[in-house]
Structure 1
Amino acid sequence: MLIVLFFLSPLLAVVVGSDLGSAADSGNESITADFSASPLTGEAPLTVQFTDRSTGSPETWEWDFGDGGTSSAKNPSYTYSRAGTYTVSLEAGNGVSSDSEVKKNFITVKEKPVVPVVEASFSANTTSGKAPFTVRFTDSSGGGPTAWKWDFGDGTTSATQNPVHTYSAAGKYSVTLRATNGTVSDDVTRSDYITVDGNGPLASFTASPLEGLAPLTVQFTDTSTGSPTKWEWDFGDGGKSTSKNPSHTYSGAGTYTVKLTVTNSYGSDTADSSVNAYSITAPVADFSANPVSGSVPLSVQFTDMSSNGPTAWEWDFDSDGVVDSTEQNPVYVYTSEGAYSVTLNAVNGTATGTETKSSFITAGNMPAAAFTSSPQEGNAPLTVQFNDTSSGNVDSWFWEFGDGNTSTARSPSHIYSSSGNYNVKLTVTNSFGSNSTEVPSSVKVLSDTAPSPDFTSNVTSGKAPLAVQFEDLSTGGPTAWEWDFNSDGTIDSTEQSPVHGFADTGFYTVTLRAGNGTAWDSIT
């Protein structure tokens, strides 16, 4: 019970009442602000539950969350959207009294880390080929991976970003790439991405025996590698087989080329060898040649025409006892003149046949034409003796004397009836060819009788300057000409038919003097 004493002078009043005492107690209780929060730290956006811990029975609350956000709830929940450190304050009151609590740097909000997104991807420079097959892989993943794990599908792996891998066996291979960035990874698989073909087989075989008397039975054994699945034999005599290891009988003598072609799904290959079946009957040697004569160097193609199945040949092209060739159809070049006997030995392993053709090849040289003449100059009629000095076994002669006459004598004489300069040509021939020589102006024939000069011109008058074409009409075989176009005694031209220009007006007298080397005459 509250007792209140009022001193009123000069009286003292005493009031006793319980209701008045209760009202006074409520108005005088003090408030102490306080609060808690959870969580105090985390990644943005961060939702925090605030709880009022104030004492003194507050009835109002004013919260300031430090980022501009406020609340009047007693126990608010608030979300921080941005990273930072926030000071939180609470003012608690009851209408009569209030109190504030400030908690500095109370809430810490962190940036949420960016989670990387990785997208695995890759390519290859080639995707198919034969084993061993080398492939260069290229990483094209997105999201900045920092680690790689490759599975090439053949039991091998790699941690290289851009690996090079070699596939050694045929097959189809799926390739997987795992690209990783920290804790995030992504896988990509390309099924049957790489196709590796195998290699074709390598053909080989043995034969036993390799030679013997016909009929000869030979056992062939395939020794090919690369797992062939098909065999094709050609025995060289028209016989064939598809067995792996066949036997074959050669009924006639000869050297036979045997071919084996092996095949698998990746390709084929061929190998060959020879088998020699011979006879006890000696070959009959024979041959031909083309050509059998000519000038050196003479290249001759020899052709074997032997019978009874020879398997070897021995040629002696010059009868010196030395084997010059062992080919069946050789070519031989003769470099020296001569008549050559040729011998062929045809052999079939146990017997030999021989053929010799005497003086079969004739090699020689073409002639070289040459001659002399005497005299080489004189007055007409002039008789000249020509003497053949050619080399090289000449068989025929053909002379051209330069005046339209010819001769086939070896060393003829010839009469030149007219003056002039004559080119003489001699062509000589033998069985190996022909050759010619020509001597310009080899014979010069003069005359004691002077030519008869005469001439004409295309014009005889006209305006100066006047160009006049003169034409020689002289007879008697002139060989030289002297023209005087203005009668001044000076030779103006020595051409046979000159052109002269008259520069000045006037009357001109023209003189021609014609000569043949020994006599001259003139006309004006």
Structure 2
Amino acid sequence: MMKTYKHMTLFLAAIFSSILSCKEDFRLPALDVVYQVQVSGHDVNFTNQTEGGTAYRWDFGDGESSTEENPTHTYPSKGKFVATLYVTAANGEIVEGSTVIRISKASPIRLDDKSLADWDTISTNRIQPGAAGGIINDIKLDYDGNYIYIYGELQTNKANADIFDIYIDSDNDAGTGLLTGTFTNGGFDILLEGVLLEGQLDIFYHNGAQSDFAFDQQSIAEAYQLGTVSSTSNEVRFEMRIDRTKLKGLTGTGMRIGFNAVKNDWSASIGFAPAEGDPAYYLNMED
């Protein structure tokens, strides 16, 4: 009997040891680190969707960090950054997940702010044709990954309903599109035409020989948008934007553009930017 009890004691000890070993090896299932990223210019919204976390730490990849669960971070410049979320689980274990954030050129221009003050920060990409510009005193251009922004100062009255022709060489290739004496160094693939200050522009694509003024009208929803218009009796300032994703060729690294204003009865040209016969303005969009 003593021998039997001895074997039983050893058996129970083995079971107890096995239970302890299993307990020591037991771990909660690893968390799946899940989050969403929304990029707007240099601002990025991070939204955690990880379930079961008790604490969070974000490393934004630019030397900055946050312990908020859903932070917003502004990156200092364009470039590629690796953002990492560290999540602490209930058992103290820390798991992580990373993603690459690509920041392209951002623009300070906002069409929904009911102001033109943001254009004060734009000093490059400017067309000032002088006396040869007629009613067009100043044009500024800016861009980001989605839009091309346009600002203008005009010596006119909004009630005049001046018609504008905006010529765009979307692929920066003089071998395609209309060749016109109005602006040189460009083959113009796109024409926006209409009463610009009323937000009424028709969209045309060139479809013929380069010497032919041959354009097909297109119907493209939300291809452009008029922003704030400020006017006095003899001066109008305005802003607008063109959607780069809607018009063919504008997602490239550069384009050429020229502005021609005419009276509302088409009787005479009254404004140019650049000056008539000068090269169309090249907007470098390599960023």
TM-score normalized by structure 1?
0.23
Larger Rg: 1
Greater relative CO (CA pairs within 8 A, separation 6+): 2
Q: By percentage of residues, which structure has more strand?
A: 1
TM-score (norm 2): 0.38
